[in-house]
Amino acid sequence: MIRVLIVDDEALLRSALQRILDAEPDIEVPHTCDGAAAAQAIRLHRPDVVLLDLRMPEVDGLSALSPRTANTVVNGYLTAPCHQEPDPRIAALTARERDVLVLLAEGLSNAEIGRRLLMSTATAKDHVSAILAKLQVANRIQAAVPAHTSGLTLSA
């Protein structure tokens, strides 16, 4: 039996996915929740698979996962067949934004980035927003990929 936890901010989507998965005899969905409850639900239900929305308003998918897991997701993008050459959009970032991008690519939260770079969480969040806009991406994982492919991170 495969245990699947569904994490999404849309209750209707969670319900629909649960109904689809529950129709399979070898899949069990013990719980569904939003991003804020994800970590606790994972510890409590110990699923084999987590279907996790990366873009949620309160707690996004990367914040609900550990930095190690976030790195695994980013590395999965990097080893995909569509691996890109260094991204010229990186040049549009300020030196401080590149510093933030490196830590973002390591899977750190805004609070952790702020502590590491001696800035407030709000300032780190502002930098992340600017990075997403300048790189023209929708989320932190999409921003981490050019950081890796451009050689900004150690695991590039």
Rounded to 10 deg, the angle between the 121-135 and 110-117 helix axes is: 110
The residues facing 4 across adjacent strands are 49
Residue 67 confidence (pLDDT) above 50? yes
- Fold type of domain 77-149: Arc Repressor Mutant, subunit A (1.10.10)
Residue 77 confidence (pLDDT) above 60? no
* Token output for 33: 């929740």
What is the Cα–Cα distance from 8 to 13, expressed in whole angstroms?
7
Closest CA to 156 of 90, 63, 94, 57: 90
Domain positions in the chain: 2-65, 77-149
What is the CATH code for 2-65?
3.40.50.2300
Give 127-141 pLDDT, tens digit per residue.
Answer: 999 999 999 998 888
The residues facing 5 across adjacent strands are 31, 50
pLDDT band of residue 117 (cuts 50, 70, 90) is: very high
**Mean pLDDT calculated for residue range 52-75:** 62
Looking up tokens 């790195």, which residue turns up? 71
Residues 6+ apart with CB under 8 A from 129: none
pLDDT band of residue 62 (cuts 50, 70, 90) is: low
Looking up tokens 């502002």, which residue turns up? 126
